[in-house]
Amino acid sequence: MKNYKIVALPGDGIGKEIMPLALEVMNTLVEQVGDFTLEIDQYPWGCEHYLETGEVMPKNGIEILSQYDAIWFVAAGHPDVDDTLSGWEFIYQMRKQFKEYVCLRPIRSYDGIDTLITNKAPIDMVIIRENSEGEYVGAGGFAHINFSNELAVQTTVMTREGVERIARYAFELARKRRKHVTSVTKSNALQYTQVFWDKVVEEVAQEYPDVTFDWIYADAATMRFVQNPSFFDVVVTTNLFGDLLSDLGGAIIGSIGLMASGNINPEKDFPSMYEPVHGSAPDIAGKGIANPLAMILAGAMMLEDLGETYTANILKEAVNDVLRDGIKTGDLKGTASTSDVTTALLQKLR
């Protein structure tokens, strides 16, 4: 029997409420239908940990995490801690050190949940966001701080290797879906990095004559996401545009509380990291009203990438059933608590 070593990182805010319930769902799922075992460790790293210890994670945190098959993470963020700290010393460290260059974010509509769009056709797309370079590479700096000529420079970096591999991943995924890739770009305004992006993605597209390929400017993409999201199948785009569009995608399907995300190392040299798209939500922390489904769907993504597709599908179908039954938290215009949704899921699985 296969055994997988998983690390669970609750992080901050609602993470401390969601993670124990998600673990209960995952353990019940494996007991009921899995032919494998999960060995799960937890660490309290994040901004609240920083306030207590002076570090977001230990200096050897990356070394510790590298020993696991997958990372299941909720969110990091606290009102008393600068967001750049949780980003650059924790989240981006995992994404960059573990070469998780694919950020995969499925966007789909669910029965029983009203989509906030004019076209009511079913939504089923995947955003493939380049996750390691682009606008979030971290190159830049400040000069003349606190003087009248103060300035800041943020540099976008794109490499041929980085663009080729994310484009190729998108086209390979499209072959398993509806064979349609749309590149989201802004090359009419960003005449170097985005023209380069267009050039390289177009070259990769030539290798996939069986896949329909088109491109759209980022501003036009935001309109089409709202007016006709069923047009899209696989969307490939840069770090920044993928970040923004996936949040919009969460909004149009009813709530970002249904949006899961995988930070994928396709070569499996290092563990991939799975998380909900939403943040730590300190404004609702401790109230028992957070939606746990994005976290649970991230767990389904984790299982699927580990090769346990059957068990992952059981979990996704249980989520479908709970939503179809009208058991919804406040973000979905329901009255159920976090524990109500979890209890309903457990009943489905049992």
pLDDT of residue 264: 97
The pLDDT assigned to 119 comes to 67
Proportion of the chain above pLDDT 90, given as a percent: 91
Cα distances (angstroms) measured from residue 180 to each of 174, 199, 209: 6, 18, 11
**Residue 48: pLDDT above 80?**
yes
Rounded CA-CA distance 257/289 in Å is 11
Per-residue pLDDT at 52: 94
In 3D, which of 273, 294, 311 has the Cα closest to residue 90? 273
Confidence category of residue 87, pLDDT binned at 50, 70, 90: confident
Q: In this predicted structure, what is the pLDDT of residue 199? A: 98
- Can you tell me which residue has the tokens 């009943």? 347
Q: What is the pLDDT of residues 90-137, one digit of tens each?
A: 888 999 999 999 999 999 999 889 887 766 788 999 999 999 999 998
Please give the share of the chain, as a percent, with pLDDT higher than 70: 99
Residue 334 has pLDDT above 80, yes or no: yes
Residues 206-251 have pLDDT tens digits of 999 999 999 999 999 999 999 999 999 999 999 999 999 999 999 9
Secondary structure class of 38 (helix, strand, coil): strand
User: Could you give the count of Cα atoms lying within 13 Å of 345 in the half-sphere of its Cβ?
Assistant: 31
55 Cβ neighbours under 8 A, 6+ residues apart? 49
Residue 343: how many other CB atoms lie within 10 Å: 17
> Edge to edge, what strands does the sheet with 272-276 contain?
36-42, 2-11, 70-75, 272-276, 260-264, 102-108, 124-130, 234-237, 180-185, 212-217
Please spell the DSSP secondary structure of 154-217, one letter per residue: EEEE--HHHHHHHHHHHHHHHHTTTSEEEEEE-TTT-TTHHHHHHHHHHHHHTT-TTSEEEEEE
Query: Hey, what domains does the chain have and what are their CATH numbers?
Result: 1-107+256-350 (3.40.718.10), 115-253 (3.40.718.10)
Mean pLDDT of all residues in the chain?
95
Average pLDDT, integer, range 168-184: 98
